[in-house]
Amino acid sequence: MPETTTDAAGPTALGALGDALGKAGAEAISGQREQLAAGLLRASLKQWENPEARPQLLADLTAAITDEAGAEKMRAFMSAQSSQIFSQLGKALGLPQTLDINEVAEILEVPPLNINAAQAQVWGMVILRYILKLEPISSASADELVELLAPTIQRYLVG
């Protein structure tokens, strides 16, 4: 069972998101790499659609946009060796060390900037869907969003 980041209140939603993304990434890299983007999007949307996790995820995202401490937390989540995503990815791939964005880019054989571009696609969708509640993206099904966004994200992550 993956380790989930915790705080005084218990497991964090951001930690659960990182666990889910790390697991989905490892499954695709170890198996059907052509499903990498779709798997990551589905894992992300599943966490964001969870009514218990969404308020905490929204609070973390809002903090990342409005103050430096929140931004640092999000930077660590998205790119550092301490990243929940990349840590879980390394564990799931059976690697002895945690990974950072540069090492993940090497595994994927893409520039690190491509990983940031994929992240930007997902976070842009999250902002439009869950913060701005902009139609039609806010009422689109997860399947519609995966079908729309996965090809672009796949190109960033696999080439």
46-60 residue pLDDT tens: 999 999 999 999 999
Q: For domain 10-158, give the fold.
A: Tetracycline Repressor; domain 2 (1.10.357)
**DSSP 3-state of 46:** helix
CA 43 to mean position of chain CA atoms? 8
List the one residue out of 55, 61, 59, 29 whose CA is nearest residue 125. Answer: 61
Cis ω before 151 (30° cut-off from 0): no
Instruction: Please give the single-letter amino acid code of residue 116.
Output: N
Q: Going by C-beta distance under 8 Å and a sequence separation of 6 or more, which residues neighbour residue 131?
A: 58, 61, 62
Tell me the two tokens of residue 79: 């790119």
List the one residue out of 85, 111, 99, 98 whose CA is nearest residue 16. Answer: 85
The full set of domain ranges for the chain reads 10-158
Predicted local confidence at residue 57, as pLDDT: 96
Cis ω before 136 (30° cut-off from 0): yes
pTM: 0.86
Comparing 102 with 124, the larger pLDDT belongs to 124
Instruction: Give the mean pLDDT of the chain.
Output: 87
